[in-house]
Amino acid sequence: METKKMCLVLVTGSLDKLTAAGVILSGAIADDYQVDVYALIHGARAFLKDIADHPEKLRVAENVDLRDELEASLKRLNVKPWIEFFREAKQIGDVKIHVCGLAGKIWRGEKLEDFDPIVDDIVGINECITKLQEADIPVIL
């Protein structure tokens, strides 16, 4: 059987979309997809060591007035933090997390050690484009 592939590109770094990406990632892993995640611009910022475990440092959503409501709902529903979706997916499935080199530099993340340990590498945008072309399911958030 041929491996199913998903390419998940994170342009955003907002709590709502990172959480949605985590849910999508979990579903893809449950369905045995090989997933490449590319963190661009604000997505790269979210994976920085001093940001990943601190949702208060992220923009919450397109509408900042909904921050309290979103956070209260996530808590009430016992939804795990976005980064935990990514960590768990890497433990159980074939997931690679890549940070765009330019995006990393924008946020002063120039070395792999600047990012959460789940980040696999820092790459150029051409790799992301190639993976999008090869993916059975390309997702851009």
Residue-level pLDDT at 68: 83
Taking 70 as the threshold, does the pLDDT of residue 140 lie above it? yes
**Average pLDDT of 5-29?**
95
Q: What is the pLDDT of residue 50?
A: 93
Domain count, the chain: 1
- Distance, C-alpha 95 to centroid of its chain: 11
- Indicate if the pLDDT at residue 102 is higher than 80: yes
In sequence order, what are the residues at sequence separation of 6 or more whose Cβ sits closer than 8 angstroms to the Cβ of residue 126? none
Helices (H), the chain: 15-30, 42-46, 49-52, 67-76, 82-92, 101-106, 125-134
The domain containing residue 59 runs over which residues?
4-140
> Which CATH number goes with the domain that contains 107?
3.40.1260.10
Cβ 19 vs Cβ 58: under 8 Å: no
pLDDT at 60 over 90: no
Segment 57-63 shows an average pLDDT of 77
Using only C-alpha atoms, what is the Rg of the chain?
14
Give percent of the chain above pLDDT 70: 99
